[in-house]
């Protein structure tokens, strides 16, 4: 079966196993945080192993349920022709007779030229004799270079032959167990798999979770997994993947957890129950001590007395923007807690908000509050974000430091947000 087709069938199987629980409301209560959900334990990786080149299988060295290591030989194809090509290329690569012959010619032609130069200086040899000797030496040097190039090409041909021979051997790309054998010795393989190997350390735990928990469950959170038919008790797993698209029909979305299985004592293909560990909170990045900076802007208007007075001292109307640093209240008197985040390489606002337990809905309202706010989506590594949060983790204020002289302040305004430009020094733009 093709790997992508197998992957689709695996996802469908997980959904079918969990759907009856969802439709019947089979979620048990679990503390005060999240309900328990049903799940399925699956291999971490399932790989269909084939040959890089078509050919006739000489032997398959493993069978179903055998354990294999990464890089282990699992099958070989008939490679008599390729082995003969390698032997021939090795012999050619060792031949140096031609190079040695050219070296002898070069030495002889160089001595001959020296003698003719001496005779020519005594008017015994002609110009023609001297020039012929120079030409013969130059040709010998180029012949020697061609012999050297031939040796290098033969070495490359040997390397190519060895790689072609290597393609007749099939290796395991992962540590795991053989779960199915498709081919045996004597069969021809082209693009079909020979073996199917599953990696069982770690394991994947696939769960389907009610949509009302979307945004509350975060990557990195932990859960206890209770496998069926297991007498060893619960296993601790960690969330690694959260689907970004839910299923409208069932009102659910998918969650994948990673479960360590170093001794391979737990098999894949088990049903299980998943209980999220209560009271989990993601750790904020850094607590800052920087002051809050606000901005006051004044703009002259042509229809005010102040503007008319300004025009008497200037040929044109001036727009004056005054930005000054206002000493903020003491951090102890400000409501909430400050959290400072340094933007890392590859970070996005969505990732930063998720890492600090801030709602994706809040981010959506911020970025859609104005055209300037949309530019925050293009944050750069090395910049600084400061969040002021209340005791329940709600956003009270956001400050984005664009440069040492300029920042952006975002404040809640009902269901929307307002944006203020902040300058750290007195500046006047005429």
Q: Which CATH class is domain 25-64+182-276?
A: mainly beta
pLDDT at 423 over 90: no
Other beta carbons less than 10 A from residue 408's beta carbon: 19
Choice among 66-80, 147-161, 309-323 with the minimum mean pLDDT:
309-323
What pLDDT was estimated at residue 74?
95
Under CATH, which architecture does the 305-423 domain have?
Roll (3.10)
What pLDDT was estimated at residue 263?
85
Task: Give the residue with greater pLDDT, 157 vs 326.
Answer: 157
Number of residues assigned to the chain = 430
pTM above 0.75, yes or no: no
Mean pLDDT computed over every residue of the chain? 78
The pLDDT-based confidence of 62 (bands split at 50, 70, 90) is very high
Q: Which ranges constitute the DSSP H helices of 94-209?
A: 97-121, 127-166
At 389 the three-state DSSP class reads strand
Mean pLDDT of 201-216: 91
Tokens for 401, please give them: 């430091």
The pLDDT-based confidence of 381 (bands split at 50, 70, 90) is confident
Determine contact, residues 324/369, Cβ cutoff 8 Å: no
What pLDDT was estimated at residue 333?
55
- Which class for 21: exposed (0-12), middle (13-18), buried (19 or more C-beta within 10 A)? middle
Percent of the chain with pLDDT over 70: 77
Distance CA 49, CA 72 (A): 12
Task: Give residue limits of the domains in the chain.
Answer: 25-64+182-276, 81-166, 305-423
Determine contact, residues 284/339, Cβ cutoff 8 Å: yes
The pLDDT-based confidence of 425 (bands split at 50, 70, 90) is low
Task: Give the residue with greater pLDDT, 309 vs 189.
Answer: 189
Mean pLDDT of 260-273: 90
pLDDT at 87 over 60: yes
Determine contact, residues 370/419, Cβ cutoff 8 Å: yes
Mean pLDDT of 347-356: 78
CA angle 377/381/382 to nearest 5° reads: 125
What pLDDT was estimated at residue 334?
65
pLDDT at 10 over 50: no
Mean pLDDT of 343-353: 78
Task: Give the residue with greater pLDDT, 396 vs 293.
Answer: 396
Q: For residue 320, is the peptide bond before it cis, meaning its omega torsion is within 30 degrees of 0?
A: no
What pLDDT was estimated at residue 288?
39
DSSP label of 316: S
Q: Which helix (H) or strand (E) holds 240?
A: strand 235-242
The pLDDT-based confidence of 161 (bands split at 50, 70, 90) is very high
Mean pLDDT of 291-297: 35
pLDDT at 39 over 90: yes
pLDDT at 231 over 80: no
């Amino acid at each position: 079966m093709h790997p992508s087709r197998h992957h689709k069938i695996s996802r469908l199987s997980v959904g079918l196993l969990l759907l009856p629980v969802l439709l019947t409301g089979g979620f048990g209560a679990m503390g005060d945080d999240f309900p328990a959900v049903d799940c399925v334990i699956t291999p971490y990786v399932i790989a269909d192993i084939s040959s890089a080149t078509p050919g006739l299988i000489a032997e398959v060295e493993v069978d179903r349920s055998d354990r294999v290591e990464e890089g282990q030989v699992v099958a070989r194809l008939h490679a008599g022709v390729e082995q003969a090509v390698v032997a021939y290329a090795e012999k050619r690569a060792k031949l140096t007779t031609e190079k040695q012959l050219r070296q002898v010619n070069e030495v002889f032609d160089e001595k001959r030229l020296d003698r003719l130069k001496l005779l020519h200086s005594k008017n015994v040899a002609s110009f023609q004799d001297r020039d012929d000797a120079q030409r013969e030496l130059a040709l010998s040097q180029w012949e020697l270079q061609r012999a050297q190039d031939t040796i290098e090409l033969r070495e490359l041909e040997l390397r190519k032959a060895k790689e072609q021979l290597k393609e007749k051997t099939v290796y395991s790309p992962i540590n795991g167990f053989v779960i199915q054998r498709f081919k045996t010795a004597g069969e021809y393989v082209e693009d079909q798999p020979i073996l199917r190997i599953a990696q069982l350390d770690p394991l994947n735990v696939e769960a389907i979770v009610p949509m009302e928990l979307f945004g509350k469950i975060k990557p990195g959170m932990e859960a206890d997994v209770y496998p069926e038919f297991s007498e060893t008790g619960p296993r601790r797993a960690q969330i690694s993947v959260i689907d970004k698209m839910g299923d409208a029909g069932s009102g659910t979305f998918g969650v994948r957890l990673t479960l360590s299985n170093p001794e391979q004592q737990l098999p894949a293909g088990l049903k299980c129950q998943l209980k999220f560990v209560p009271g989990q909170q993601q750790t904020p990045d850094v607590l800052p001590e920087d002051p809050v900076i606000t901005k006051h802007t004044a703009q002259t208007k042509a229809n005010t007395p102040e503007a008319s007075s300004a025009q008497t001292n200037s040929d044109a109307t001036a727009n004056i923007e005054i930005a000054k640093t206002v000493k903020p209240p003491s951090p102890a008197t400000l409501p909430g807690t400050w959290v400072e985040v340094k933007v890392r390489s590859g970070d996005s606002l969505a990732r930063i908000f998720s890492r600090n337990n801030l709602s994706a809905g809040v981010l959506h309202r911020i970025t859609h509050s104005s055209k300037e706010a949309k530019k925050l989506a293009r944050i750069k590594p090395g910049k600084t974000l400061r969040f002021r949060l209340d005791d329940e983790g709600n956003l009270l204020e956001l400050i984005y430091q664009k440069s040492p002289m300029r920042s952006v302040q975002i404040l809640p305004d009902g269901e929307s947000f307002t944006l203020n430009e902040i300058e750290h020094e007195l500046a006047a733009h005429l």
